[in-house]
Structure 1
Amino acid sequence: MGAKAVRRGAVKARVGLALSGLGRMAAGAGLLTMQAALAPVPLAAQEGSPSAAVARRTVEFDIPVQSLNSALLTFAERAGLQLIYDVASVRSLRSAPLRGRFTAQDGLNRLLAGTGMAYRFSGPNTVSLQMATTSDSSGVVTLVPVMVSGRAELAVEGFRARQASSATNVAAPLIETPATVNVMSSETMERLNVQRLDDILQYIPGTGPGATGSSMTNTFTIRGFESSTTRGGSLGSRSNSVYIDGHRPASRHYHYDRSLYERVEVLKGTSSVLYGAASPGGIVSYTSKKPLFETRNQLSTTIGSFDTRRASVDLTGPVAALNGLAYRLIATAQEANQPYTGKNHASSFDDRTIVKPQIAWQSDGGTRVDLGYEYSRQNSVADPGILRFSDGSFGFGGRSLVSDDSFSKHTNHIATASIWHPITDQWSISVDGSYGKNHIDALWDSANTRTAPSRTALIDRDVIRFETDFEHREARAKLQGEYQIGVVANTTTIGVSHRREGYDSKRVQRTIRGAINPLDPVFASVGDLGPYTGTVDWTIREQGVYIQNYARVGEKLKLFGGLRYTDIRTVFNDTGGTDKAIDYAIGAIFNQNDWLNPFISYSTSLTPQVGTLKTGGPVPFSEGKQLEIGVKSQWFGDAVASTLSIFQITQTNRVETDPADRLLSIIAGDQEVKGMELEVVGKITDNLTFIGGYSYLDTEFTESVLYKGNTPANVPKHKATAMLNYSLDTDFGLWDAGVGYIYVRNRQGDNENSYRLPDYSRFDLSLGWQYESLELRLRAENIFNKKYVSGSSGVFMNQGLPRSVFLNAKVTF
């Protein structure tokens, strides 16, 4: 670096953070706010001390010449460090090659050679990078002072995520991952004003809402296969494919409130090798916010349509009196009404209170322990939505079909624990577990019909009083190591898992025939229903053993393979089922250059299903298979990334609820999907960011007594999404404005294919302003007030969100 003086001053910059391995455990996956003016003093004086484990550990690197940003992400993942740097400052730089076994310090010195960048250890496992100059003729290196004021996450820049871990169980750059993974960061979730899972999936190609649900139950589709946020119960027909930190949710009915999560990854295709029993279409993986060893406090509030009033506080930082200890406390309160009829009805509410304290301890040797507890209380209603009438019309914006007396009171107690410990420089062990208890006390009093009525016909009224108890236990342990065999750098994981869940329900039900006028519903008192007359109980026990390996072969080839043995036993009332399976997955990606990175993968899955068939006997388990071929690319100097893939997925024994008896199930048949997906995300200019995609799904029942040759309900053949955001940094703060577009076409309303759901287009707007620690965001959804159906259960449907406006204010301190 030359002996040239530069002007020194404070610069506000957005920060990129590469985080994985030991670094991910050290800093958690949470948000980071850091304010520091680094005085220009000699680099040696600025340099802190790495942890003892980092200082002595050597790592095998194989990083060719490439964009410096991509090289730093790979370096962070291999070295297990957290890197903090201004993404914009490295975008035009190229790295030096780094091949061989080095300490983290030696490796960084070689990787940054000739780039004009310098670094310092700002913590035991945290490295800050800035542009370097010299201040005098002696050649002493100084750093340009930088005021860092922004968000840092697991390799996320704007809409674009650089890394993911859901596809391989290893935090790896997406460009080196042989699978399709869509990532939504906390910043993107805030821009979308995410209230429920539907809000996340609407901008992701190949996904969408499923059958009607409510705040209690979200059903959704991934690559044409239906899944649900709820497990088992009297339905038992939909697999649950939502995970939190690698675990099933520890509650049967769960809120998935955005205040608790750092990011969401949607892994497409079968994933049983990684997660055990799962839907063949894919899984949704939430990453929780964890305690940070940097002080960061945040207060946010939201008001808006549907009487939405919401407040959340997020406090985290080190415990000053106790070295190596950090805390996090998240508390959220919400009052709001559900939008599924297109109108604001006080009888269709979704209120919640959440308190989640956490604590983390980290030793100088790198061992980290996390403990957490969550208490949540939710009061909501199972809103059936709107009706489809016999003349083919829909009851958009109609009266609520739920009695004012209806309620569902949920109470959740959830405890989590995890420990990560480095055994040697190359091997580590981790053990984590979750325990949860969920109690529901409910009265469902609503209109019901199994066939589309005329507008003048009276329909039935179902009144159901019930209580349920759900208990969840899950534990995992894994041994992970990094080692070199010749030119092959391996990350091998060997693990075991155990899950046991139980459900007990007691209920009494009364059906009143022809009691409700759907255009003017009146719910007269029905009095006391009497004692409970029916019960449902089920248990599921799943045990698994697995081994997987992610390998870098030379500079360009990356391979993934895994094998899992799963033993599943289910009991539904007095009927039991059992299955054992060996699932496997293989994948490869060849990183030829920035724009040509072809990949291929093949995987299998096993999905347990609980219930009793209408014909007698237990519901059979389901098996799935997927073949996917695609290409990943980076364009315009790594400013934009794209993934294009084609795939074929099959599933056996798809099950649905018997419409004549909700306690019984019927086999819908085998299903096949052939499809194509495209996703493009990145920066068009320094100020303009973009995320968008398109999916084509050709899906049908291939073997079915009832539906052979038909298309499953709610699966769009065509879906296109786009979101543009323009930001401008001024003396009066950072401004941004965004527009979103969603296009959905060609969906069937039921498995019989008796009618089609209307196609629709929807536009959203967003305006944000950030000045120092204050941020305001105004979001308008469905600005042209398009009336559309988001999901159908055959006769009842969810109306899509009408024109709605939300204002969010956030203060960081």
Structure 2
Amino acid sequence: MKITFTQVALCLFFFFFLSYSASAQQTVKLQGYVRDIKGNPLPGVTISVEHTKLTTSTNNKGYYRLQVGQGKLILHFNFIGFRQSVKTIEISGDTDENVVLTESNSDLQQVEITGRKEKAYKTRATFIGKIENELKDIPQSVSYASKELIADQGLMRVGEVVKNFSGVNQFSFYDDLTIRGFRVNGQSNTQLLNGLRTSTGFWKQSLANYLERVEVLKGPSSALFGNASPGGVVNRVTKKPLDETRRSISMTMGSFNTFRGLADFTGPASKDSTLLYRLNLGYENAETFRDLMFDRNFVIAPSLTFVPSEKTRINFDLVYTDSKSRLDRGQPIFGSFDLNSTPQSLSLNTTNDYLNELTYNATISITHKISDVLSLNASYLKTGYSEDLNEHRTSNSYGVDGNGQPINNLAGMNVQIRKRKRFIDNFSGYINYTPTTGPISHKVVAGYDFGSEKTPVGGSQMTAGGYRNAANNGFIATYVAAKKSDYLLDKGNPVPNVPHFNLNDPLSSQRMQDDSKLFFAQSVVAPAYYYLNSGYIQDQLKIGGLQVLLGVRYEYYTDFANYKTQTEAKANSHAWLPRLGAVYTINSNINFYGSYVEGYNPQTSATISNPNAGGPFDPLKSNMIEFGAKTSWLRDQLSITAAVYQIKQTGALYATPGVIDVLRQIGDEQSRGFELDVVGKIMPNWNVIASYSYNSAKIMESGTVGEIGLQKPNAPKNTANLWTRYNFIDGVAKGFGIALGLNYMDKRNLIYDVKLSPENQITIPSFTLLNAGLFYNIGKLQLQLNANNIGNKKHWVGGYDYLRLFPGQPENYMLTVGYSF
């Protein structure tokens, strides 16, 4: 860990200054008990003081205690399933204040426009189904991580957050995941932001400081969102404004020369609270453990909510990200395929490489309640992405000698210089209708979606690679030994257009290169465009303890190949997508469920977003059967979900070994598994999140015989995760907290290589990581120390092939100082 003396001195000065400020005001003791109307104590009730950051929770006896300033205070008592109680009291000395809470039978809100006030790992409900539903009433598995968990673990990337979810793991360094054995790629327009389809920059994940939570709806979700991965869909939920003032800033320093500053401000923007605001800011300047890699990130995420009446709410969100870095294609290894043959820090970049990305997501949402049972909702999301790239990267093969045999210490290289933009539009308009007909209550969602993605005219790419021709005035993409005379030779070996990367002497290959002497092939990033129109209707009927979900979506997809060129070709496809589910409530703590869903994903030039991918390809089709149980314990403070499932898919695209960017389509794949998720509080001051998954994900049909029967790439059979935090609320240790975490990942296959026999297929070994956190709160100040990969376990989070492995971080430490005011 590289922390300078100056940084430590500034941090300590900051700490003592704020500690003095926090203790300067004379405080008194406020205490009492919180009970229900029957007199039973309520453990875990959140008590907060309005216009301050003072907060606590009740213990197992329903008792709470706060050190507060003298004067007029407005107290908020919040507990899941109970109506909020607001008390205004005048305090001049130690005070007892007892409170009785009544259970809440109010309807859930329809659309997630206002912010979440609770401060806990556990979330009661989600809006991922276009209407707010309690998680226990959704007939599919949903994993999630709240902002409190993300902050406690000191995480800043969604790819890191998903380690807490059963059946979800990283595929690479990029916005690139595996869910239940199936890849979810952030470069395709299949991820969600506030329930709306969008895409990410893919290469570099943005900071997560503007997120309220990250959630994953498992299984094909096409009936709700159109084309999506069969494994599941990732939804990023942004922080929304609150009707109470909260302000916080934090500073993080630590390993890899990391410096990070974050700010979060929210509250009323008008005296009558009809206009609310929220502003999240993030800045990061960090190196990594990888050679030549760095991240310079800036995020600004403002949000406004206008509440002109009790029936109408309007929200505007903007997330703007400016990222400067280098593109990390991973760690290469020698031709012996020994994972330890090169250091994990090794990258193939040079010092003149760069990757500059600008991304914005702007959303406007409106909801209007026409009556007690009918509301209208509409949302529009505009995404813009700009990429400016210069990279030295592997050609996905080793250099060859005059006989065409690989030289295992020389990695073949390419240079790519690319500029391109992408724009995504997404509109969703729908009604929520919740009537009751006799003994049957309904939750009807019916609406229309429009989505489009465009890569406009003006993108360009220059590529240098292959071997120089005999005249030395151009290059040939591949070397063919039988045509040796066609190539420029040196000591009988072909001369590469881009010098090979010497794995025995990486420093000489990583220095700044004179690319002006290379032969480039210039190409236009082909303009691409697609749009979709879809209509859907869904009803969740409830009679007694049984809920039945019936839904169907019709999607009509239009794609333009070679958009705005003389060879433009228009293609259409369509699909009917059913969704069936049932939930049966045994008692207030136990629900059983089952579901059947189908998935569909066109695989065209526009959705792949790679002009070199090949094709045309048939659509990806999938279906899933899932059964499970969702239970709650300890007054709904702890939830446990178990699920078994089978997913079938046909038509997946895989990289072609030894050929850059070109994809190939295979046949059937199947995933079967079991998952267990635990999240919530064991005690009011003891939080926990844990998961386990078993997943057998196999390739059933392929034109490459050796692939059949193999576990799918980057799909571990077993994963297990645990994170638990305990806060001391009494005695000399009051204000301190301690957390421990474990992450286990089973071995994983890389993408199948036709040059290797199945028994020699490259695998990434299993690993177990130990993490920990220490916390200390004094008034408005919080100190936090996170230690990750304690013991420095060598591991890999994912990989494509033997030239593109993605190693995990070595042992590292992060110190955070936060202040709330």
Mapping for residues 124-523 of structure 1, pairs under 5 Å: 128-129=84-85, 144=99, 154=116, 158-166=120-128, 168-210=129-171, 212-213=172-173, 217-231=174-188, 240-249=189-198, 251-253=200-202, 255-320=205-270, 324-338=274-288, 343-345=289-291, 347-394=292-339, 395-450=342-397, 457-504=409-456, 505-511=459-465, 512=497, 515-521=500-506, 522-523=509-510
Offset from partner CA, 1:704-758 (integer Å, 9 cap, x none) = 1122222211100111111222111247752211111111113212235512211
Distance in 1 between residues matched to 2:235 and 2:530, nearest whole Å = 21
Distance in 2 between residues matched to 1:810 and 1:664, nearest whole Å = 47
Distance in 2 between residues matched to 1:14 and 1:810, nearest whole Å = 30
Distance in 2 between residues matched to 1:756 and 1:413, nearest whole Å = 37
Offset from partner CA, 1:252-298 (integer Å, 9 cap, x none) = 44744211110111111111111111111001111111122211111
Q: Are the aligned partners of 2:526 and 2:611 in contact in 1 as well (CA < 8 Å)?
A: no
Q: Which residue of 1 is the match for residue 670 of structure 2? A: 672
Q: Which residue of 1 is the match for residue 492 of structure 2? A: none
Q: Which structure 1 segments of 5+ residues have no match? A: 1-7, 17-30, 38-83, 93-118, 134-140, 147-151, 232-239
Q: SS of 2:801's equivalent?
A: coil
Distance in 2 between residues matched to 1:155 and 1:322, nearest whole Å = 19
* The 10-residue stretch of structure 1 (792-801 or 661-670) with the greater mean CA deviation from structure 2: 661-670
Q: Are the aligned partners of 2:115 and 2:242 in contact in 1 as well (CA < 8 Å)?
A: no
Among all aligned residue pairs of Structure 1 and Structure 2, give the percentage whose two residues are the same amino acid. Answer: 24
Q: Which residue of 2 is the match for residue 80 of structure 1? A: none
Distance in 2 between residues matched to 1:785 and 1:701, nearest whole Å = 34
* Cα displacement (A) at 1:790: 0.8
Distance in 2 between residues matched to 1:538 and 1:548, nearest whole Å = 33
Q: Which residue of 2 is the match for residue 590 of structure 1? A: 584
> Structure 1 154/177 Cα, relative in aligned 2: closer, same or farther at 3 Å?
farther
Distance in 2 between residues matched to 1:372 and 1:595, nearest whole Å = 36
Distance in 2 between residues matched to 1:89 and 1:36, nearest whole Å = 27
* Cα displacement (A) at 1:332: 1.3
Distance in 2 between residues matched to 1:12 and 1:794, nearest whole Å = 61
Say yes or no: does 1:546 pair with 2:568: no
The amino acid across from 1:243 in the alignment is L
* Cα displacement (A) at 1:397: 3.0
Distance in 2 between residues matched to 1:266 and 1:299, nearest whole Å = 29
> Structure 1 13/405 Cα, relative in aligned 2: closer, same or farther at 3 Å?
farther
Distance in 2 between residues matched to 1:491 and 1:85, nearest whole Å = 36
Distance in 1 between residues matched to 2:61 and 2:192, nearest whole Å = 35
> Structure 1 15/780 Cα, relative in aligned 2: closer, same or farther at 3 Å?
farther
> Structure 1 422/32 Cα, relative in aligned 2: closer, same or farther at 3 Å?
farther
> Structure 1 493/222 Cα, relative in aligned 2: closer, same or farther at 3 Å?
same
Indicate the RMSD between aligned Cα atoms, in angstroms.
3.4
The amino acid across from 1:609 in the alignment is Q
Say yes or no: does 1:803 pair with 2:811: yes
Q: SS of 1:202's equivalent?
A: helix
> Structure 1 206/467 Cα, relative in aligned 2: closer, same or farther at 3 Å?
same
> Structure 1 378/173 Cα, relative in aligned 2: closer, same or farther at 3 Å?
same
Distance in 2 between residues matched to 1:391 and 1:187, nearest whole Å = 45
Q: Are the aligned partners of 1:586 and 1:602 in contact in 2 as well (CA < 8 Å)?
A: yes
Q: Which residue of 2 is the match for residue 712 of structure 1? A: 712
Q: Are the aligned partners of 1:132 and 1:143 in contact in 2 as well (CA < 8 Å)?
A: no
* Cα displacement (A) at 1:513: 5.3
Q: Are the aligned partners of 1:478 and 1:493 in contact in 2 as well (CA < 8 Å)?
A: yes
Q: Are the aligned partners of 1:250 and 1:473 in contact in 2 as well (CA < 8 Å)?
A: no
Q: Are the aligned partners of 2:334 and 2:409 in contact in 1 as well (CA < 8 Å)?
A: no
Q: Which residue of 2 is the match for residue 66 of structure 1? A: none
TM-score after normalising by structure 1: 0.78
- The one of 501, 526, 547 equivalent to 1:536 is 526
> Structure 1 715/686 Cα, relative in aligned 2: closer, same or farther at 3 Å?
same
* The 10-residue stretch of structure 1 (294-303 or 514-523) with the greater mean CA deviation from structure 2: 514-523
The amino acid across from 1:359 in the alignment is L
Q: Are the aligned partners of 2:365 and 2:379 in contact in 1 as well (CA < 8 Å)?
A: yes
Q: Which residue of 1 is the match for residue 514 of structure 2? A: 526
Greater C-alpha radius of gyration: 2
The amino acid across from 2:673 in the alignment is G
Say yes or no: does 1:10 pair with 2:30: yes
Offset from partner CA, 1:540-577 (integer Å, 9 cap, x none) = 212111111223222x2222221111111223435554
Say yes or no: does 1:789 pair with 2:746: no
> Structure 1 703/176 Cα, relative in aligned 2: closer, same or farther at 3 Å?
same
> Structure 1 687/252 Cα, relative in aligned 2: closer, same or farther at 3 Å?
closer
Q: SS of 1:160's equivalent?
A: coil
The amino acid across from 1:606 in the alignment is Y
> Structure 1 470/365 Cα, relative in aligned 2: closer, same or farther at 3 Å?
same
The amino acid across from 2:667 in the alignment is G
Say yes or no: does 1:609 pair with 2:598: no
